[in-house]
Chains A and B, each alone.
Chain A
């Protein structure tokens, strides 16, 4: 489903990814773990098409399509969802307005019909309930005045509404208390643990993986995957640390 081959990427001329190769099949959840500065967030930015990151070598294929040739909004319409580590606040634009426009933009690009206001609100309320987020909050400006935990839950509500086939979740667990972590974990499972849907979870810690069981765990260091294994690798990392495991 997602094939990353020998990916090299730079920002401001500085090399961050140095030959990263990774393959995620349909229906799989992969976790990427690694120390600070390993290139985890850069990987998510490059996959999402964030301006400023330059791919100098390698390729990324998504469902047979050259992902890197697509604009950020075209990637979303192709079924890719980016969960942000730091969701952006947008004063003056309500979540409802933002997500309805976003969903209908995607549908238009895919040649599907737009959702009416009523249909959209029903969908939004259903997904907010799944994440135990007060649907009234969706009337507020995007992420404005939301706590760290509310922002992350709102990210997952967005994922539920947009219904992607592939989600890249960049430290979705950071800033969450224990209860919120469980809610978000169950939300990810409910939305993405479905046939043909895949997830790339980027995280520092093992704790989210207790709720969202990965099929594969990869260790990213100095811009490349240095070790891969099953779910046990996450536990081993938690117990022994990155240095010991990757030595």
Chain B
């Protein structure tokens, strides 16, 4: 794959909700930096990341999952500035890719996940569960593209996105994109965006939970699905707590 030499703009499909102004301020080299990960056939590899700082960050990852291998990626994206996590995944026969992602935060930053899963051969599976929680004037994006090649029969791909807006000024964008050339496949995708359940919040208050604790419990429950496939309980807790720590400054 050729490396990007120019700065992308929001006119490019995969950058359409990115923060154009910040992109223009970055040096062109950062766009060409990809982390390449190659698994061995039959291997299972799991990676958990908490990304984000006060500066813009781009994390671009290419994962090659050969026959019978299983790649898992779990990410909390809580950047204080534009923070993008992009995964391009190539799945061979019977391979599996698992993605759990949470974007969370306020301020005016844009945080996003961009995934592109290529089911190149038959019987590969992929599951993506993404949750976005935003407030203030923040933006959370998920652009998920699934490509199923002509002979990738028995593909089973699931994409599940939910957004939670904790304030009126925040924005959440979800764009599922399916390109399917095989005829015997299952590709399920769902996207829903809503606000905190006020009935639940009142019920919790009536039992004595202060609004901050109630909101934390509700957000914890909302996020949980993103990491439910992560077997390592301590890593699951670490990611969940990292995500919830970002809630501290929510109104």
Contact status A90-B200, CB under 8 Å: yes
Contact status B207-A87, CB under 8 Å: no
Write out the residue numbers on chain B whose beta carbons fall within 8 Å of the beta carbon of A105.
208-210, 213
For the complex, give the distance between the alpha carbons of A81 and B198 in Å.
19
Q: A82-B206, A102-B207 are in contact. Are A88 and B199 (CB under 8 A)?
A: yes
Q: A72-B202, A88-B199 are in contact. Are A93 and B218 (CB under 8 A)?
A: yes
Interface residues on A, range: 20 to 34
For the complex, give the distance between the alpha carbons of A162 and B197 in Å.
23
A215 contacts chain B at the CB level, 8 A cutoff:
no
The interface bits of chain B over 208-225 (1 if a CB of A lies within 8 angstroms of the residue's CB, else 0) are 111101100110111010
Write out the residue numbers on chain B whose beta carbons fall within 8 Å of the beta carbon of A106.
208
Contact status B203-A88, CB under 8 Å: yes
Contact status B208-A103, CB under 8 Å: yes
The interface bits of chain A over 149-169 (1 if a CB of B lies within 8 angstroms of the residue's CB, else 0) are 000000000100010000000
Write out the residue numbers on chain B whose beta carbons fall within 8 Å of the beta carbon of A82.
206
Contact status B205-A49, CB under 8 Å: yes
Contact status A109-B208, CB under 8 Å: yes
Write out the residue numbers on chain B whose beta carbons fall within 8 Å of the beta carbon of A88.
197, 199-200, 202-203
Write out the residue numbers on chain A whose beta carbons fall within 8 Å of the beta carbon of B191.
none
Interface centre among A105, A106, A109, A158 (most CB of B within 10 A): A105
Q: A90-B221, A98-B217 are in contact. Are A76 and B198 (CB under 8 A)?
A: no
Interface residues on B, range: 20 to 34
Contact status A92-B207, CB under 8 Å: no
Contacts across chains A and B counted by CB atoms under 8 Å: 80
Write out the residue numbers on chain A whose beta carbons fall within 8 Å of the beta carbon of B198.
51
Contact status B217-A76, CB under 8 Å: no
B229 to chain A, nearest CB (A): 15
Interface centre among B203, B206, B224 (most CB of A within 10 A): B206
Contact status A73-B211, CB under 8 Å: yes
Write out the residue numbers on chain A whose beta carbons fall within 8 Å of the beta carbon of B213.
101, 105
Contact status A162-B221, CB under 8 Å: no
Write out the residue numbers on chain B whose beta carbons fall within 8 Å of the beta carbon of A76.
205-208
B204 contacts chain A at the CB level, 8 A cutoff:
yes
A91 contacts chain B at the CB level, 8 A cutoff:
yes
For the complex, give the distance between the alpha carbons of A76 and B204 in Å.
10
Write out the residue numbers on chain B whose beta carbons fall within 8 Å of the beta carbon of A158.
207
B169 to chain A, nearest CB (A): 21
For the complex, give the distance between the alpha carbons of A109 and B217 in Å.
18
For the complex, give the distance between the alpha carbons of A74 and B157 in Å.
47
Q: A72-B202, A98-B204 are in contact. Are A93 and B221 (CB under 8 A)?
A: yes
Interface centre among A49, A75, A82, A90 (most CB of B within 10 A): A90
The interface bits of chain A over 12-51 (1 if a CB of B lies within 8 angstroms of the residue's CB, else 0) are 0000000000000000000000000000000000001111
Q: A91-B221, A92-B221, A98-B217 are in contact. Are A73 and B209 (CB under 8 A)?
A: yes
Write out the residue numbers on chain A whose beta carbons fall within 8 Å of the beta carbon of B221.
90-93, 141
Closest-by-CB residue of B relative to A159 is: B207
B interface residues with partner A (beta carbon < 8 Å):
197-200, 202-211, 213-214, 217-218, 220-222, 224
A-B pairs with beta carbons under 8 Å apart, 8 shown:
A49-B206, A73-B211, A81-B206, A90-B200, A90-B218, A92-B220, A98-B204, A101-B213
Additional A-B contacts beyond A73-B207, A90-B197, A92-B220 (14; CB < 8 A)? A50-B202, A51-B202, A71-B205, A73-B206, A73-B209, A75-B206, A76-B206, A88-B197, A88-B200, A93-B218, A105-B208, A142-B203, A162-B207, A162-B208
